[in-house]
Homo-oligomer: A and B are copies of this chain.
Amino acid sequence: MSAAPDLQPAFRALADPTRRDILKRLSAREMTLAEITAHCDMTRAAVKKHLVVLQDGNLIQMRRSGRETLSSLNADALKPVVNWLTYFESFWDTHLGALHDTLSDLKDTELEDKE
C-alpha cells in the first residue's frame, strides 16, 4: 500500500488564483514559461516561482526540451484533494433539509463559474 499523500503542498498551490489559472491553461496543452507568462500580467520570474510551487504540490511536471522548458499538468495529484473534500459530502445541505439535488447544484455551479 502507498503512503498517505501530504496534502499541504497541493492545498498550498491551489490557494493562489494565478496558479489555479495556470492549471486550467495547462489542461489544454503543455506550455513554455514564456507562453504562460503571456497570460499572467507579471514578470517571467514571478510566473516561474508559481510554477515551482505547483511543482512542489506535484500538480505539474516540467521537462527541458532544447532551450525551453515545457510545463504540463499532473491532474492525478488532485485526486487526494478531491477525496479529502469528499469526506464532507455527507454534511451537505443538512441545515436546509436536503431539498436540493446535489448533482443539479454542481452542474449549475460549473456553468456559472468563470474562474
Cα(A4)–Cα(B114), bound, Å: 7
Binding site for B on A (CB under 8 A): 1-5, 7-8, 11-12, 14-15, 17, 20, 23-24, 27, 73-76, 78-89, 91-96, 102, 105-106, 108-110, 112-115
> Are the C-beta atoms of A112 and B4 separated by less than 8 Å?
yes
> Are the C-beta atoms of B94 and A79 separated by less than 8 Å?
no
Copies of this chain assembled into the complex: 2
Which chain B positions have C-beta within 8 A of A84? 20, 113, 115
> Are the C-beta atoms of B115 and A1 separated by less than 8 Å?
no
Of the candidates A7, A27, A109, the one having the most CB atoms from chain B within 10 angstroms of its own CB is A109
> Are the C-beta atoms of A86 and B82 separated by less than 8 Å?
yes
> Are the C-beta atoms of A105 and B79 separated by less than 8 Å?
yes
User: Apart from A27-B88, A83-B109, what 8 extra A-B contacts exist at CB < 8 Å?
Assistant: A1-B108, A4-B115, A11-B15, A27-B87, A73-B88, A75-B88, A79-B109, A83-B113
> Are the C-beta atoms of B24 and A87 separated by less than 8 Å?
yes
Closest Cβ–Cβ distance, residue A78 to chain B (whole Å): 5
